[in-house]
Amino acid sequence: MDWWHLIDTSRVVVFVLVLTRVSGIVITAPVLSTTDSPMSYRALLAFALSLCIMPSQWLAEVAEPDTIPAFAVMIAAELGIGLSMGLGIYIFFAGASLAGELIGQVGGLSAAQIFDPISGDQTPLLSRAFQYLAITVFVLIGGLNVLVTSLLDTFETLPIGTLAFQPQMAYSLTVILEISFGLALRIAAPTLVAVLVTMLVMGLLGKTLPQLNLMSVGFGVNSLAMFAVFGLSLGTGIWCFQERIGDVFELLFNGLHTTIDTGMLNL
């Protein structure tokens, strides 16, 4: 029986475009795409989300492409929308990871790295700790719900098959990059200042009393000061991260012309 003629090719095109947009955010968003989750899980997650979204886009009118290059352009446009959303969150989370790496470098823990069997790279211990902490805070305040809701809203503000470039999104990603660097400095500043003051005091004592041989205990004192101030300022670092999540979402929403309210976050 020839059943190929029963397939509505226009709906197949719509589903492929929906899957492409969803795949873009699943590939880049740190919460949905972590190095600890296998590729098969992420592919299944993207496919499942696309199936859930497809009923709302069943009646979407999309011109069927006449050529393969035209279809490739449509896929690239949808992938760009998803990637830009996930990339914005990824850049913001990179600030927390950078803070952990700065603290580890200054505190003398540059050798304290763990091997990531999935990525095959050496990951700083404090950087990975801040990354997991940021993901936990993001989920607890409802950031994952807002992210998925904003993804659904893009299908209304940027319908399937939209090929127009969004210059506002490029500006939003640039500002998010600035916020990420500022976040890294704000989180790491107390520990960096404490370690630098400790090094200055140890250096002055070493010059004044060279017979004490403080160089033999200098690294241990630096690490002790780093851990002490890090423990005391950890809550402040979490607050700094939580404080800027709303601003990052506002920038993403403006770039994608969505109407989601950041009041949904449990800040």
> Is-contact 129 100, C-beta < 8 A?
yes
Is the predicted pLDDT of residue 84 greater than 80, yes or no? yes
pLDDT at 112 exceeding the cut of 60: no
Which two tokens mark 152? 């659904």
Report the pLDDT averaged over residues 214-238: 75
Do residues 86 and 22 lie in contact, with contact meaning Cβ atoms separated by under 8 Å? no
According to DSSP H, which parts of 121-260 are helical?
125-140, 143-157, 167-208, 215-256
Q: Is the pLDDT of residue 175 over 80?
A: yes
Q: 145-174, pLDDT tens digit by residue? A: 888 888 888 888 888 877 666 677 888 888
Report the number of distinct structural domains present in the chain: 1
Of the listed ranges 50-54, 141-145, 261-265, the least confidently predicted one is 261-265
Q: What is the pLDDT at residue 214?
A: 61
| pLDDT grade for 118, boundaries at 50, 70 and 90 | very low
The secondary structure of 49-117 as a DSSP string is HHHHHGGGGTT---PPPSSHHHHHHHHHHHHHHHHHHHHHHHHHHHHHHHHHHHHHHHTT-TT-EEE-T
d(CA 231, CA 136): 18
Domain, as residue range, for 147: 4-264
